[in-house]
Structure 1
Amino acid sequence: MLSVGSSSHTPFQASTSFASTPETPSESFQRRHGSFTAHKRIAEGGFSTVYAMVDAASGERIALKLVDLKDDKKLEYLNDEIRIMRRLNHPHVVRLLAASVSGSSDDSRQGALVMELAACGSLFDFVRNESSGLDVFLARIFFRQIVGAVCHLHEVGIAHRDLKPSNVLVMDSETVKLADFGLSANVRRNTRGIELRDENFSGTDQFSSPLKLKEKPSLATKDDVWALALVLFFMHTASFPWDKASEDDERYRAWSSTFSPPKPFLSLPMNVQGVLEAMLAPLERNRSAIGDVAESAYCRLEDDGDVWVEEVLYDEDGNPVGLYNDPNYGMTTVEMDADDLPKRMEVEEDLEELIDVVN
């Protein structure tokens, strides 16, 4: 059985050249680790490659991330990533199963992380397969799971610092897990427990907060919230509201100066717009913390008597007009309170089905 930090096994072997990594691993790469063998390459970055590994006997699959460690700085980053993953224990954070380093010299040194394999790939690819975004219920389910994962990170004192759809893995049709902690770091606090500003500006520009993009010290936990809002927007629209949070970006400038939302924003359900506005506040002090997001009505499924508030459709004036996926679409909450008992019972049954789907 694979275990984190196990030293009783033969280390994974890999080619030292990642720039020319073949579609099929070399013979040295295919040495067995227990009963697992390399199956296919599923992702590649500047200094790492991810392979799907399979147990020929049981069919069990895992993911193997191989990292080029040609200098000590990269080894330090890998050790940080391993330490962080060992501290995490949440149903929506990808699990680290084993870790090892092989090679005695800088030129031959390789790191290996063995993790759960995501059967459906990244959230980015999963959403892009749906040209108009995910179903509103599935987007909400996924969002609540990611929020739970980020809450766990922040509670144990870790900021992800590179939240984006490609770093969220879709395990199956109803489950996602947060992954890729290569840029994650401990949240620094003063003696009074107040978060100190982060001066590391690594990450992806498109998902960076306004302060981080300007390379100004920012609160890493608030940066995570900003990026998570863009993930939510992407799940609903398969697009992003702007290219980056810079005044050079016309769409972002309109948002930051006049709070004029980009056109796709207006097509979102009112409850989604509300949580996005709080998460995308340009001023960091006005932006929600992840705990606020977790306590929002959108995440908590608060009951408002006859209807679940978050499932109500609103017209452009903010008046309730019906329910998502309800056969009685267009029925207002006033009509639902009418004395038409058969119709009321039918609506209540539909609501029970909606609740079952969401839960």
Structure 2
Amino acid sequence: MPVITPGMTKFRKKVQLSQDAERLKEILELKDRLQHDLEYLIAHNKIKDYPDYMSLFGDFGTIDYSKENLIGKGSFTKSYVTNNPATGEKRAIKVINMEKSRKEYAEKFLPRQLNILIFLSEHPHPNIIKVNAIGKVVQHVFIDTEYCSMGTLRNYRSKIKTNKEFNEDQTRNWLRQLISAIEFLHYYCIAHRNITPENVFIMTNESIRLSGFGFSRFCYDIETGTFRNSSSNRDPDPFLAPEIIEGETTDPKMGDIWSWGAIFYYLVTGDPPFNPTQYISKGIKLSSFTFGPYHSQRVSTNLSERVSRLLADCLTSDPTKRATLHHVKAHPWLKEGEPLPVAT
């Protein structure tokens, strides 16, 4: 074992301080950015404001709005696959109709989402969706991203009909990539808050991309140097943590750990860990959910008991007792095997 001298210790501390200073600088930069509205982003050339749709199509390429090219749809959003006019490469275009969206979304959540996407495009991670450009025409915002031809984790899991088709190595690789993306976001004090199978895309080489930043938020208080809690009532999605659905004021980063565990359980069993709608309809608090013998038995069909314990730690209703990101990353199951190549 090498001897660690006082000089080496001092050098390590100096390096750590340097890294922390650089990180703090970037966090402060992100905090300032999140105050910017659409007009500011347009004025500072972060988003291009086009006078008409023909001008936008010159940069984004002509968008074929036919049903065959529609790859995603929300209450006020639609996503299409199209080709880059310069390279012919396929990419995805998300169209947000601000007139149809709620006022709170257009004025609060959309600017926050765009600021975070712009920040992430300048600080790329191999498992976070790559944003090529953002444009605005009248009341429509266009987000140009890389195209993930294999669909989402929802598409993948729906094709698995039997336990025999479950691929442990592939599942482990995707979960490693997903926790890496979450760790990257948390490093910059960003909580995703909407990690669902529909928001995790698969590339042709089967590396994954985390997307869906519509409800992400910055969660660090610069003045106190502490992480900021948040509250936000959400629809009862089974992949969201109970405290997020019920609007409790808690650390939003812990909600991302729940979502990681819920996706893990879903990839193994084909089902989410619980149905929050049933709890709500019966007047039962979501925080009463327990990862019990039924869940462990379903997981153990494909994986060992120690994996069940990891999932139980991630799917703990009390966020203060939930597994931390460090605990998840250190689990032996995630360290088994060799990681598959990750696209850059």
Q: TM-score range by the shorter chain?
A: 0.7 to 0.9
Q: Distance in 1 between matches of 2:167 and 2:258?
A: 22
Q: Which residue of 2 aligns with 1:135?
A: 167
Q: Distance in 2 between matches of 1:356 and 1:149?
A: 15
Cα distance, 1:162 vs structure 2: 0.7
Q: Which residue of 1 aligns with 2:330?
A: 295
Cα distance, 1:6 vs structure 2: 5.7
* Residue 202 (str. 1) matches residue 234 (str. 2): yes
Q: Which residue of 1 aligns with 2:151?
A: 121
Q: Which residue of 1 aligns with 2:77?
A: 48
Under a length normalisation based on structure 1, what TM-score does the superposition of the two structures give?
A: 0.69
Q: Is the 8 A contact 2:232 2:248 kept in 1?
A: no
Q: Distance in 2 between matches of 1:83 and 1:193?
A: 22
Cα distance, 1:31 vs structure 2: 6.8
3-state secondary structure, aligned to 2:94 = strand
From the two aligned structures, give the one with the greater helix fraction: 2
Q: Which residue of 2 aligns with 1:260?
A: 293
Return the match for 1:157 from 173, 186, 189: 189
Judged with a 3 Å threshold, the aligned counterparts in structure 2 of structure 1 residues 35 and 64 are, in CA distance, closer, same or farther, namely closer
Q: Distance in 2 between matches of 1:149 and 1:12?
A: 36
Amino acid at match of 1:75: A
* Residue 75 (str. 1) matches residue 110 (str. 2): no
Cα distance, 1:244 vs structure 2: 2.4
Cα distance, 1:113 vs structure 2: 0.6
Judged with a 3 Å threshold, the aligned counterparts in structure 2 of structure 1 residues 249 and 115 are, in CA distance, closer, same or farther, namely farther
Amino acid at match of 1:38: I
Amino acid at match of 2:331: S
Cα distance, 1:358 vs structure 2: 9.3
Q: Is the 8 A contact 1:243 1:249 kept in 2?
A: no
Q: Distance in 2 between matches of 1:358 and 1:273?
A: 27
Return the match for 2:128 from 93, 97, 110: 93
Cα distance, 1:121 vs structure 2: 1.0
Q: Distance in 1 between matches of 2:220 and 2:287?
A: 31
Return the match for 2:57 from 32, 39, 57: 32
Ranges in structure 2 where 5+ consecutive residues have no aligned partner: 1-44
Say which is worse superposed, 68-77 or 160-169, in terms of deviation.
68-77
Return the match for 1:231 from 228, 242, 263: 263
Q: Which residue of 2 aligns with 1:61?
A: 90
Amino acid at match of 1:261: Y
Cα distance, 1:74 vs structure 2: 3.6
Ranges in structure 1 where 5+ consecutive residues have no aligned partner: 14-27, 104-108, 302-353
Judged with a 3 Å threshold, the aligned counterparts in structure 2 of structure 1 residues 131 and 193 are, in CA distance, closer, same or farther, namely farther
- Cα shift readout 1:231-284 (whole Å, capped 9, x = no counterpart): 11111122222212948599x89962x833334233241242132122112222
Amino acid at match of 2:106: L
Q: Distance in 2 between matches of 1:125 and 1:198?
A: 31
3-state secondary structure, aligned to 2:95 = strand
Q: Which structure has the higher relative contact order (CA within 8 Å, separation 6+)?
A: 2
* Larger Rg computed on CA atoms: 1
**What percentage of residue pairs aligned between the two structures are identical?**
19
Cα distance, 1:183 vs structure 2: 0.7
Judged with a 3 Å threshold, the aligned counterparts in structure 2 of structure 1 residues 189 and 201 are, in CA distance, closer, same or farther, namely farther
Return the match for 1:277 from 307, 312, 322: 312
Q: Is the 8 A contact 2:254 2:322 kept in 1?
A: yes
Amino acid at match of 1:65: K
3-state secondary structure, aligned to 1:97 = strand
The root-mean-square deviation of aligned C-alpha atoms, in Å, is 3.0
Judged with a 3 Å threshold, the aligned counterparts in structure 2 of structure 1 residues 185 and 242 are, in CA distance, closer, same or farther, namely same
Q: Distance in 2 between matches of 1:255 and 1:236?
A: 19
Judged with a 3 Å threshold, the aligned counterparts in structure 2 of structure 1 residues 268 and 157 are, in CA distance, closer, same or farther, namely same
Say which is worse superposed, 200-209 or 287-296, in terms of deviation.
200-209
Under a length normalisation based on structure 2, what TM-score does the superposition of the two structures give?
A: 0.72
State how many pairs are aligned: 281
Amino acid at match of 2:294: P
Q: Distance in 2 between matches of 1:61 and 1:194?
A: 42
Q: Distance in 2 between matches of 1:68 and 1:117?
A: 21
Q: Distance in 2 between matches of 1:62 and 1:79?
A: 23
Judged with a 3 Å threshold, the aligned counterparts in structure 2 of structure 1 residues 12 and 218 are, in CA distance, closer, same or farther, namely farther
Q: Distance in 1 between matches of 2:92 and 2:52?
A: 13
Return the match for 1:5 from 29, 46, 66: 46
